[in-house]
């Protein structure tokens, strides 16, 4: 059984650029049609968060800016031209934060919960970026920590784009962060070097696995071997951003993944979390294509323990790319901080 946080309001929420707003909305509509038919799913209605919870991460000035933008009668941008605001947006933000709150509450009874909307990993404390007005996962981390920074929380952020805001906010927190994303130094947002390992108490806890553009299923499978770190870290909570914009048909094309990769990601998370008895809260992340909703469903089926290959597996013609990924993963696996073991 898997819990899916759902409110019909999700069908109207997107902060994407006007060019891909329709695709974003379609994605959730199709997802709803598919997930309704899926067995062993418990739908859970999210609560509305208190606006003070935004202060766990965001500055008062920025929260004020969000409120004012929400009162604006027109659609506009919160940043220099990516992230959209619209009338009444602020209530939707509270619904998004409330979704994580509800997920935390239900995680007492359910091992795996999925929130189809959310995983806004580009947002910073005082600014929006890349279709992300607030950083919901960072807020969730602070709620789970509740002042106890030793709480064993791990983040697995898999998306075509590096989770720059999330990495920045949690950079000096001693909680495990694994990021897998497309990278060539220029592709949005351009961050995510292997050498970015965290700072202060968080040094050694940040792991970036940059994938060369065009990486296919076989390279992605190599990258997922980094998840073995979880066995050493042994999280109590595993927050997974399962973005689907790495699909080969995505309109922001960067990777060459088939449906199989998203199933494999869900399946691996399912196995690891069962082995470690970790609670999973997962997020829909990015995805701007015709197949996005199918990718989401494949991830969920994987999370339920179903391993399937519905698509023809994609392969890198340039095997050097896979070798490169293998080398990165191996070098990172050899560089675990000793404090991992002392927990
Ligand atoms: Zn993305």
Domains of the chain: 2-342 (3.40.800.20)
pTM of the predicted model as reported, rounded to 2 decimal places: 0.97
Q: Output phi, psi for 231, to 5 deg.
A: -65, -30
Q: At what angle do helices 136-145 and 89-106 cross, to 10 degrees?
A: 40
State in Å: Cα 339 to ligand 1 middle. Answer: 31
State in Å: Cα 186 to ligand 1 middle. Answer: 14
State in Å: Cα 329 to ligand 1 middle. Answer: 21
Q: What is the mean pLDDT of each run of 10 residues along the chain (343 residues)?
A: 97 93 94 97 98 98 97 93 95 98 97 97 97 98 91 97 98 96 95 96 96 97 98 97 98 96 98 98 96 98 96 93 96 87 63
Q: Say how far apart CA 276 and CA 292 lie, in whole Å.
A: 29
What local confidence, expressed as pLDDT, does residue 190 receive?
A: 94
Structure tokens at 51: 């606006």
What local confidence, expressed as pLDDT, does residue 183 receive?
A: 96
What local confidence, expressed as pLDDT, does residue 343 receive?
A: 59
With beta carbons less than 8 A apart as the criterion, state whether 215 and 321 touch: yes
State in Å: Cα 150 to ligand 1 middle. Answer: 29
SS3 202: helix
Q: How far is CA 52 from CA 60, 72, 172, in A?
A: 9, 21, 23
Cα maximum dimension of the chain: 54
State in Å: Cα 342 to ligand 1 middle. Answer: 34
What local confidence, expressed as pLDDT, does residue 150 receive?
A: 83
Q: Which residues surround ligand 1, an ion (CB under 5 A)?
A: 159-161, 243, 245, 286
What local confidence, expressed as pLDDT, does residue 241 receive?
A: 98
Cα dihedral 184→185→189→195 (10° resolution): 110
Q: Say how far apart CA 276 and CA 326 lie, in whole Å.
A: 25
What local confidence, expressed as pLDDT, does residue 176 receive?
A: 96
DSSP state of 210: E
Catalytic residues: 122
């Amino acid at each position: 059984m898997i819990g899916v946080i759902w409110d019909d309001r999700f069908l109207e929420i997107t902060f994407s650029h006007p060019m891909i707003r329709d695709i974003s909305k379609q994605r959730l509509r199709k997802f709803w049609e598919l997930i309704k038919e899926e067995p062993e799913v418990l739908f859970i209605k999210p609560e509305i968060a208190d606006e003070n919870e935004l202060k766990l991460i965001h500055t008062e000035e920025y929260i004020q800016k969000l409120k004012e933008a929400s009162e604006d009668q027109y659609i506009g941008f919160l940043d220099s031209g990516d992230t959209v605001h619209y009338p009444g947006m602020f209530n939707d933000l509270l619904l998004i934060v409330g979704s994580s709150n509800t997920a935390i509450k239900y995680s007492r009874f359910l091992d795996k919960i999925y929130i189809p909307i959310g995983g806004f990993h580009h947002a910073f404390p005082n600014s929006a970026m890349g279709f992300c007005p607030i950083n919901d996962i960072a807020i969730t981390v602070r709620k789970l920590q509740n002042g106890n920074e030793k709480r064993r929380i791990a983040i697995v952020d898999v998306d075509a784009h590096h989770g720059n805001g999330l990495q920045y906010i949690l950079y000096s927190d001693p909680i495990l962060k694994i990021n897998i994303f497309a990278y060539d130094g220029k592709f949005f947002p351009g961050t995510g070097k292997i050498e970015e390992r965290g700072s202060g108490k968080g040094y050694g806890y940040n792991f970036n696995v940059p994938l060369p553009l065009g990486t296919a299923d076989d390279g992605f499978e190599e990258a997922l071997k980094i998840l073995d770190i979880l066995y050493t870290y042994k999280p109590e909570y595993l927050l997974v951003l399962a973005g689907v914009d790495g699909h080969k048909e995505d309109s922001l094309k960067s990777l060459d993944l088939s449906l199989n990769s998203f199933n494999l990601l869900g399946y691996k998370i399912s196995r690891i979390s069962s082995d470690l008895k970790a609670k999973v809260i997962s997020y829909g992340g990015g995805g701007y294509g015709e197949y996005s909703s199918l990718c989401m469903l494949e991830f969920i089926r994987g999370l339920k323990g179903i391993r399937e290959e519905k698509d023809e597996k994609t392969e890198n013609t340039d095997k050097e790319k896979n070798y490169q990924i293998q080398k990165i993963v191996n070098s990172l696996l050899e560089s675990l901080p000793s404090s991992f073991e002392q927990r």
